[in-house]
Amino acid sequence: MSGFLTLLKRELKSVTKEKTIMVAIIIQFFVASFSSVLLIGIMSFYDPESIGHSTQVRVDVGVVGNTDSPLLGFLKGKNLRVVSFYDVDDAEEAFRSGRVDTVVFIPESNNGVVDIKLVLPELDAMQTVILMLLQEPLERYENYLREINGVELRYKDLGGGPHTTYEFLYSLIIPILMLFPAFIAGSIVVDAIAEEFENKTFDTLQSAPVSVNGVFASKVLAAVIISALQCIMWAVLLRLNSLFIQNVGFVLLLSVIVAAFISIGAAIIALYFKDRERAQFTYSIVLVAAAGLSYFVDPSPFSLITRLATGDYYTSGYEVALYAIPLLIVGILCFTMSKKLLSTKS
């Protein structure tokens, strides 16, 4: 036992000494911030509501044609101003001189169909903003026309808050933060084992008072401990940002189980190939394949974390406990195969 502890300490030390863990944290931090920048960026550029809320953009809409159209009423809003023109040339002049940003031509209704023509400036950025701001009034006008046509539309006035950010945070960011340390743990195990092969230090270790399995177990355990620490750190950091993870204990337990599963799998791969180049490559594609396969499991580790973290009433520790079974299987597999894998040439 003391031999095992010494080995474990050795492994932990080698990881911390190389400041690997710092890099690992930087990577995760980068991934998390990058995705939120992208999300918020996309939201503010592409979501008409946040364009209206977050910017002081005002669009002047020139209207030509049927200026009695009810569309004019819908168009008046916080970010829109309507200017009616009786003459197309006047509208063109106003558009070219920049007094209006866009021109809308409204014809008379033809069999209940209205074919509007919208004139946009050729500058790309402005185009998107104008279209986004016009979407809501146009939809309301569309529903108005539908009513005239005798089409009844239900669920027009359902309430509800923004959901994209919530879904994004709990079904993408938090699972990624909780599972990424596990991916890294697997990579650490591959490196640690391949290193022993390449430095030919396995023979020395075999003469130590620990079994071969003890050597692997110490490497796996060291990697799992490191990944658990990272998960705890993320939970604390998220809480500081007042983003709360419900069932925090179960979420952490699940991420430890996944980390252990991946690390043991990585150990088997490294034992099979015995050199870093092939083992790392195989590990990464196996990881991709396994992540893909897990999509077909219900609940997948990913969605289980989501449900636990959002405090889903119907999810509990039972599902987490189920995940201990595959871990046990792969553990036993590694335990019984290690000697054989070690002695085979690859």
C-alpha to C-alpha distance for 327 and 335, rounded to whole angstroms: 12
Interface positions, 229-268, toward other proteins (CB under 8 A): 241
Question: In the stretch 172-191, what mask flags binding to other proteins with x, by CB under 8 A?
Answer: x-----------x--xx--x
38 binds other proteins (CB under 8 A): yes
- Number of residues forming the site for other proteins (CB under 8 A): 127
Q: How far is the CB of 209 from other proteins (least distance, A)?
A: 27
333 binds other proteins (CB under 8 A): no
The residue among 264, 216, 224, 218 whose CA lies nearest residue 9 is: 218
Interface positions, 49-78, toward other proteins (CB under 8 A): 64-67
Q: How far is the CB of 76 from other proteins (least distance, A)?
A: 17
Whether residue 180 contacts residue 28, with contact meaning beta carbons closer than 8 Å, is answered with: yes
Beta carbon nearer to other proteins, 289 or 328: 289
Interface positions, 274-303, toward other proteins (CB under 8 A): 275-278, 280-282, 285-286, 288-289, 292-293, 295, 298-300, 303
β-pair partners for 65: 106
Q: How far is CA 65 from the centre of its chain?
A: 47
C-alpha to C-alpha distance for 180 and 183, rounded to whole angstroms: 5
Q: How far is the CB of 134 from other proteins (least distance, A)?
A: 8
18 binds other proteins (CB under 8 A): yes
DSSP string, 146-174: HHHTT----STT------HHHHHIIIIIH
Whether residue 205 contacts residue 196, with contact meaning beta carbons closer than 8 Å, is answered with: yes
Interface positions, 93-132, toward other proteins (CB under 8 A): 95-98, 101, 103, 105, 107-128, 131-132
Residue 297 phi, psi dihedral angles, 5° rounding: -90, 140
16 token code pair: 């911390």
Taking CB under 8 A as the criterion, the residue among 73, 162, 249, 317 binding other proteins is 162
Beta strands 59-65; 80-84: pairing state: parallel
79 binds other proteins (CB under 8 A): no
310 binds other proteins (CB under 8 A): yes
C-alpha to C-alpha distance for 231 and 250, rounded to whole angstroms: 12
Interface positions, 192-231, toward other proteins (CB under 8 A): 192, 194-195, 198
